[in-house]
């Protein structure tokens, strides 16, 4: 082990009491599940099944949803293998609880303190470990390798800034990345950056293309169609702080239209619903809230859909949508494949680093519009409402691109299966 990695392991060893205090504070603020804090400290809440076990980790909602088709394929094709899925956010855990196949185990990801990592690995003893995208935790990775697990870095990405940071510790980066038996970068840029740090390159694979269309409850969909009537729905999906202000101001250009559009805001974190309702009412909008079981009544101009797992409803209802997370820096954008798979025309802001490869594909296919602020967002929405044929053509190009990469889960399964015992 290199000096840098030994130092990292030593420095993280005494951190468990501090980490525990930080987690309790986060739980008080709604950012951790208080009933499952011990999982974050490596204490398992479930027994380990007998036999081989595959552990797949995705940090948050986007990564977790992207590897769901791979999880489903593993559960279906290899009933002799147990599957453990970890994630790091409350929202991801809630979504996975609804969508994981029967028998698949979910745990919160342990923090990468050395004692915590050892406790987690000693309990679960994974046969194969798959890290999705950009999570590189030295204690967990090297600890799993030392215990005989085979490791895969799937749909790998690495930003320029992360590459520069790792390049300050070249031997540590080489040892850490060298622990992986399989590395599948998302695109050529990720492959170049990872290879420069010493990673192997086993070909391109972007799991973001693997997802299924978001589900929607048929009864709820029909009720909403009846309640909304023929009013066009303008959707702001998966929004973050700072974005709702842009959205609400952009919608002012539309609210006087004779077709009376309804703005639906779906915050990425539903706990922010009351805050967004307050902001909308301060700007003079007649506003209703889904979490309060209020329907989108005829007089409503804004509807805050602060519920979890219902985004599929709104993409099916919307005439045009904003994919949130890209209007403000430091979020990194959200999944454009979600509206694409449901034939919904969409726009996005420019800050989409976490989805850069996918957005480049969509731009090349002329399948999206990029907006930068209040005026351009309002104009883009108005254009889609005024020229529905053009909007539908853009949506069709997006759907075609999404469908053309639909085999990615099969390729991921084939690659990961090569690491499993026959």
Query: Of the listed 16, 39, 50, 63, which one is catalytic?
Result: 63
CB atoms within 10 A of CB 272: 19
Edge-to-edge strands of the sheet including 182-185? 105-108, 82-87, 53-57, 128-132, 150-156, 182-185
Q: Is the dihedral of CA 88, 91, 97, 101 positive or negative?
A: negative
Q: Is position 63 annotated as part of the catalytic site?
A: yes
Edge-to-edge strands of the sheet including 318-323? 287-289, 302-304, 262-267, 233-239, 318-323, 346-348, 369-370
133 backbone φψ class: left, alpha, beta (φ>0; ψ -120 to 50): left
Q: Is the dihedral of CA 109, 115, 117, 122 positive or negative?
A: negative
DSSP alpha helices (H): ranges in 34-89?
37-40, 61-66, 68-77
87 backbone φψ class: left, alpha, beta (φ>0; ψ -120 to 50): beta
Q: Which helix (H) or strand (E) holds 369?
A: strand 369-370
- The residues assigned a catalytic role are 63
């Amino acid at each position: 082990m290199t000096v840098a990695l030994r130092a990292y392991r030593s420095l993280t060893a005494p951190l468990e009491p501090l980490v525990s205090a930080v987690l309790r504070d986060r739980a008080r603020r709604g950012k951790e599940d208080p009933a499952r804090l011990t999982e974050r400290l490596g204490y398992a809440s479930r027994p380990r099944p007998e036999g081989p076990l595959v552990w797949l980790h995705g940090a948050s909602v986007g990564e977790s949803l992207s590897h769901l088709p791979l999880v489903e394929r593993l559960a279906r094709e290899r009933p002799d293998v147990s599957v453990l899925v970890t994630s790091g956010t409350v929202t991801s855990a809630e979504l996975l609880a609804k969508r994981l196949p029967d028998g698949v185990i979910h745990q919160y990801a342990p923090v990468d303190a050395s004692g915590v990592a050892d406790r987690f690995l000693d309990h679960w003893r994974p046969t194969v470990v798959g890290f999705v995208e950009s999570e590189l935790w030295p204690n967990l990775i090297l600890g799993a390798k030392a215990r005989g697990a085979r490791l895969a870095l799937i749909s790998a990405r690495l930003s320029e800034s992360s590459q520069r940071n790792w390049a300050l510790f070249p031997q540590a980066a080489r040892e850490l990345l060298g622990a992986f038996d399989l590395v599948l970068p998302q695109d050529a840029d990720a492959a170049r950056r990872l290879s420069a740090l010493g990673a192997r390159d086993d070909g391109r694979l972007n799991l973001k293309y693997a997802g299924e269309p978001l589900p929607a409850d048929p009864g709820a969909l029909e009720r909403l169609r009846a309640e909304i009537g023929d009013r066009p729905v303008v959707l702001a999906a998966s929004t973050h702080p700072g974005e709702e202000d842009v959205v609400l101001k952009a919608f002012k250009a539309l609210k006087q239209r004779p077709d009376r559009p309804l703005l639906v805001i779906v915050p990425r974190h539903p706990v922010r619903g009351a805050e967004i309702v307050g902001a909308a009412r301060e700007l003079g909008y007649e506003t209703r809230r889904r979490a309060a079981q209020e329907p989108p009544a005829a007089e409503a101009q804004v509807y805050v859909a602060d519920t979890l797992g219902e985004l599929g409803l709104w993409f099916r209802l919307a005439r045009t949508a904003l994919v949130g997370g890209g209007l403000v820096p430091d979020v990194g954008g959200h999944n454009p494949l979600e509206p694409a798979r449901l034939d919904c025309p969409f726009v996005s802001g420019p800050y989409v680093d976490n989805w850069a490869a996918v957005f480049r594909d969509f731009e090349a296919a002329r399948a999206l519009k990029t907006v930068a602020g209040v005026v351009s967002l309002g104009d883009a929405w108005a254009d889609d409402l005024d020229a529905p044929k053009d909007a539908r053509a853009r949506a069709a190009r997006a759907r075609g691109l999404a469908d053309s990469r639909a085999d990615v889960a099969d390729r991921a399964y084939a690659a990961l299966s090569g690491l499993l015992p026959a």
